[in-house]
Chain A
Amino acid sequence: MNEIVPSSGRAVSRRERGGFGDFVLRTHASGGLVVQPRMGFSDPDEMRTGLIATKEASATTVGTLTLDSYTRVGDREAARRALRAGLRLNGYPIVEHGAELTRLVLNGVRGPGFPVQVRHGSATPLNIFASLIEAGLDATEGGPVSYCLPYGRVPLAESVRNWARCSEIFARLRETGREPHLETFGGCMLGQLCPPSQLVAISVLEALFFYRYGLRSLSASYAQQTDPAQDREAIFALRRLCAELLPEADWHVVVYAYMGVYPTTPEGSYKLLARAAELAVATHSERLIVKTVAEAHRIPTVAENVAALEYAAAVAAMARPARGPSLTEDTQTYVEARTLVNAVLNLDPDIGRALLRAFQHGYLDIPYCVHPDNRGQTRSYIDGDGWLRWAEIGSLPLSHVVKGTQPRAMTSAGLLDALSYVQRKFDGAAPSAIRRNDLRGKSGHMMLARSPAVNPGSGVS
């Protein structure tokens, strides 16, 4: 019998505050899974329509405001220009729209039965935190590592400082009687090809970071990878580490439907989403972030989001918790993750400095991450059984834990093969060249080219 430490009911005073985390834990306690879209539109009306549709979907949902990339990188001028020119952004520009407009978007929609989370991906999130707090929101996500290394050029030290400051400010919402909720994005690093033990370790370390800065309502993320059994092992490891290291916090686990190259067929993408919903239920996870059939092509519509939410909820309702690894089993993933977490925590009593030193020493090292503060000595591969494994551990402190790694040269074709492994598996095993030709024929995508040789004024040679 699995022994899952109940993550609810520890702190009545916190429960009384309500909020995002409390809603998710209450839903879980009554046997439900909260499903959530990754939805964001630049137009306030469309955003409101999307939130209402999410709320009214036949599923237990929470709402999402996903911000646009200009806001994410702090380019307010670009966001303003695009809005003035009537161009659609890839998300909701919360800073440009301002608190008053955002309150109107949320008015009558957001409430105790429908909390809303802000999602962004910024390593410089001060303006974003200020805007969301001013708009009355109290749930968001990110992390000093996970919102920095994969996504841009901001030095890790600067991101750690920014996230420390934002976490502190955000935690002070507790003084006003509310319970701010912060989710780690660390379980999703680069979306794919990061071995699960390091995803778990970073997710836990970011949760600890948030806790140290005063937050008490947390969630730890984990993104579906290449194999369901390995994913179950990883999430049980994540739960065990959260239970061991965050005994005083209210926490839950959020599972992300696959974040990498997504299937292009509706059948393939629904199948993959179904596996994610089953994974969430099997591992007693409390929340699931869905993906849609449009994911491989463009930003999904409201209707596509609702369809994905309802489908995931229906699959989850029929799924059963797995017996799987228990909270006391020392699986390979648990041992690796625990070793990484301990090694990092031992580097410095200050967790922010510990994270910085970890990346300097290569105690954390994300495969294929091009950020200058990532050492880039590790490599991963998908083995014959579909498990994501270490090919090279670089300076990770895992030499006594991970056996038999073999450096292998990664070619562009090999990388592409690994990146599209899940897509191929779920779209059917058609040879990729044929499938691409088929797509080309149907879609009528455009390509325009001019030969440099006839480019007017071209005289380089």
Chain B
Amino acid sequence: MNEYAELSSDLADAAVDYSPEGRGRTVVVTSLASDSHTWNLVFLQLFLEELGYDVVNLGPCVPDELLVEECRARRPDLVVVSSVNGHGYQEGLRVIRELRAHGELVDLPMAIGGKLGVGGAQDTRYAEELMVAGFDLVIEEGAGTSAFRHFIESLPQRALP
């Protein structure tokens, strides 16, 4: 399972059309605690930077507590969780519950994408459960770009102090 998320490759289509609308906004790009893949993270960082976002790349194997800490400290405009190792569903559920339990992170836009289970496209129930648990966007690999683009475009502007 060395292939990084096809989410990433699908997103490449979108890069062409974007104006640097992300200027001044911060996106946290992260993996989950047991996921060691990094090409997906490197790609997402470049991709989002080209759109003008400030990207904080937390790297591989990010423990739940670290992600929560980083979100509380940085108050990003968006968190993109990229998971490739097949534990995305299990760990995604765990981390979103942990994160949403913090009052100030209840509204933080959270997207997750990649290979969410070990069984490929047959694991379709995972997306729904992840949404119910609090993700705002779930993209399984190969799903295409349009919803992700719409999602980024509709992100609320940061409330300036």
| A residues lining the B interface (CB < 8 Å) | 68-70, 72-73, 75, 78, 82, 87-90, 121, 150-153, 190-192, 259-262, 294-299, 368-371, 410-413, 415-416, 419-420, 432-433, 436-437, 439-440, 443-453, 455, 457-461
Contacts and interface: CB of A to CB of B under 8 A. Distances in A.
A461 B159 contact: yes
A439 to B, nearest CB: 5
A413 B12 contact: yes
A295 B157 CA distance: 40
B101 interface: no
Contacts of A436: 6, 9-10, 13, 142, 144
A152 B60 contact: yes
B108 to A, nearest CB: 8
A449 B138 contact: yes
Contacts of B57: 370
Given A87-B90, A261-B3, A436-B13, A453 B156 contact: yes
A419 B142 contact: no
A78 to B, nearest CB: 7
B85 interface: yes
B59 A69 contact: no
B97 interface: no
Given A90-B1, A436-B9, 20 more contacts: A69-B36, A70-B34, A73-B36, A90-B86, A90-B118, A260-B2, A298-B117, A298-B120, A299-B119, A411-B46, A416-B43, A419-B4, A446-B124, A447-B139, A448-B131, A449-B137, A449-B139, A452-B109, A452-B151, A460-B156
A370 B43 CA distance: 12
A451 B154 CA distance: 7
Centre residue among A371, A420, A447, A455 by max chain B CB count within 10 A? A447
A76 to B, nearest CB: 12
Interface in B62-90: 62, 85-87, 90
Centre residue among B91, B107, B121, B142 by max chain A CB count within 10 A? B142
Contacts of A455: 107, 109, 136
B124 A415 contact: no
Contacts of B119: 88, 298-299
A299 B1 contact: yes
B38 A78 contact: no
Interface residues of B, number: 66
A297 B131 CA distance: 22
B17 interface: no
A303 to B, nearest CB: 15
Contacts of A89: 87, 118
Interface string B48-67: 00100000010111100000
Interface in B93-143: 106-107, 109, 115, 117-121, 124, 127-128, 131, 136-143
Closest 7 CB pairs of A and B: A298-B120, A461-B156, A69-B34, A151-B36, A412-B46, A447-B143, A412-B47
A294 B120 contact: yes
A447 B61 contact: no
A73 B61 contact: yes
B41 interface: yes
Centre residue among B107, B124, B127 by max chain A CB count within 10 A? B107
A432 B144 CA distance: 12
29 contacts: A69-B86, A73-B36, A78-B90, A82-B90, A88-B117, A90-B1, A121-B36, A150-B36, A153-B60, A261-B3, A262-B3, A294-B120, A295-B1, A299-B86, A368-B39, A369-B38, A412-B47, A413-B12, A416-B9, A419-B43, A436-B144, A446-B127, A447-B143, A447-B144, A447-B147, A449-B137, A450-B136, A452-B156, A461-B159
B126 to A, nearest CB: 8
